[in-house]
Amino acid sequence: MDRKIAVVGAGNVGATVAQRLAEKTLGDVVLIDIITGVPQGKALDLTEAAPIEGHDAAIVGTNDYEAAAGADIVIITAGIPRKPGMSRDDLLTTNAGIMRSVVAEVARHAPEAIIIVVSNPLDAMCHVAYEVSGFPRERVMGMAGVLDAARFRAFIAAELRVSVENVHATVLGGHGDTMVPLPRYSTVAGVPLPELLAPERIAALVERTRNGGAEIVGLLKTGSAFYAPASAAVEMAEAILRDRKKILPCAVYLQGEYGIDGLFVGVPVKLGRRGVEEIVPLRLTDEELAALHGSAAAVRELTASLGKAKAFAGPHPL
Closest residue by Cα to residue 118 from 108, 129, 132, 131: 129
Amino acid 60: pLDDT: 98
Q: Could you say which of 86, 116, 144 is where a domain stops? A: 144
- What percent of the chain has a predicted confidence (pLDDT) above 70? 93
Amino acid 318: pLDDT: 36
pLDDT for 82 beyond 90:
no
Domain holding 63, by residue range, is: 4-144
Is there a domain that residue 267 lies in?
A: yes
Whether 247 and 181 map to the same domain: the answer is yes
Q: Which pLDDT band holds residue 310 (cuts at 50, 70, 90)?
A: very low
Q: What is the pTM of this model?
A: 0.94
Q: Which pLDDT band holds residue 179 (cuts at 50, 70, 90)?
A: very high
* Active-site residue, from 109, 127, 175, 316: 175
Whether 116 and 231 map to the same domain: the answer is no
Amino acid 222: pLDDT: 87
Strand partners, 171: 181
Closest residue by Cα to residue 299 from 170, 151, 179: 179
Amino acid 1: pLDDT: 77
Whether 90 and 151 map to the same domain: the answer is no
Query: 235 in helix, strand or coil?
Result: helix
pLDDT digits (tens, 9 = 90+) for 207-223: 999 999 999 999 999 88
Nearest-angstrom CA–CA distance, 288 and 197: 19
Whether 106 and 166 map to the same domain: the answer is no
Is there a domain that residue 316 lies in?
A: no
Is there a domain that residue 194 lies in?
A: yes
* Angle, vertex CA 274, rays to CA 268 and CA 280, nearest 5: 20
Whether 18 and 115 map to the same domain: the answer is yes
pLDDT digits (tens, 9 = 90+) for 226-249: 999 999 999 999 999 999 999 999
Whether 218 and 298 map to the same domain: the answer is yes
Amino acid 86: pLDDT: 63
Amino acid 91: pLDDT: 74
Q: Which pLDDT band holds residue 93 (cuts at 50, 70, 90)?
A: confident
Nearest-angstrom CA–CA distance, 205 and 212: 10
Whether 85 and 100 map to the same domain: the answer is yes
Residue 175 annotated to the active site: yes
Is there a domain that residue 315 lies in?
A: no
The HSE-up count of residue 110 (CA atoms within 13 Å, CB side) is 27
Which segment of 40-44, 57-61, 114-118, 213-217 scores lowest on mean pLDDT? 213-217
Summarize the confidence of residues 38-61 as an average pLDDT: 98
Whether 122 and 22 map to the same domain: the answer is yes
Q: Structural domain tally of the chain?
A: 2
Is there a domain that residue 313 lies in?
A: no
Is there a domain that residue 246 lies in?
A: yes
Strand partners, 248: 269
Is there a domain that residue 312 lies in?
A: no
Closest residue by Cα to residue 143 from 269, 21, 34, 4: 269
**Mean of pLDDT over the chain:** 93
